[in-house]
Amino acid sequence: MKARSAVIIDDEPDVTSYLSTLLSDHGWETHAANDVQQGLALVREARPDVVLLDLMMPERGGLSMLVAIRKDPMLHDTPVVIVSGIQEKLNADYHAYLERFRHYRADAFVDKPVDAAELLRTIDGLVHATA
């Protein structure tokens, strides 16, 4: 049986390391990138079961990555989970911001700091729903 796979894109190496370890400890094969360009190439190469994507990254942010995935015929159905600390930064605008990402078909949102159990439930649910 093939291991489930995830691509993790976050500009903070500590975050990608933590998420990679968490998922690996639960049977996932993981790949990590620290910028959108590298992450998109990795998603195209690995064709993962799920993408974990940070929003706030230098140069190209997470929205550009989400749009690129949704426009790519080979990737457009890949579940994307937004993993971000944006809630702290936006306060009252948070819900409007989430609606914007729903418009671009983000499948789920998990706030930082990440609750491990919540993240695992979220990605397990998405992967089982698309299997």
Residue with tokens 């990555």: 65
pLDDT(89) > 70: no
Q: How many distinct structural domains can be found in the chain?
A: 1
| Residue of 129 and 92 predicted with greater confidence | 129
According to the model, what pLDDT value does residue 47 have? 96
- Other Cβ atoms closer than 10 A to 125: 13
Closest CA to 83 of 47, 103, 48, 108: 108
| Residue of 84 and 126 predicted with greater confidence | 126
What's the pTM?
A: 0.88
Lowest mean pLDDT among 42-56, 98-112, 114-128: 98-112
Domain of 12, CATH number, reads 3.40.50.2300
pLDDT(15) > 80: yes
**How confident is the model over 38-86, as pLDDT tens digits?**
999 999 999 999 999 998 887 777 888 999 999 999 999 999 999 987 6
Tell me the residue range of the domain where 11 lies: 5-130
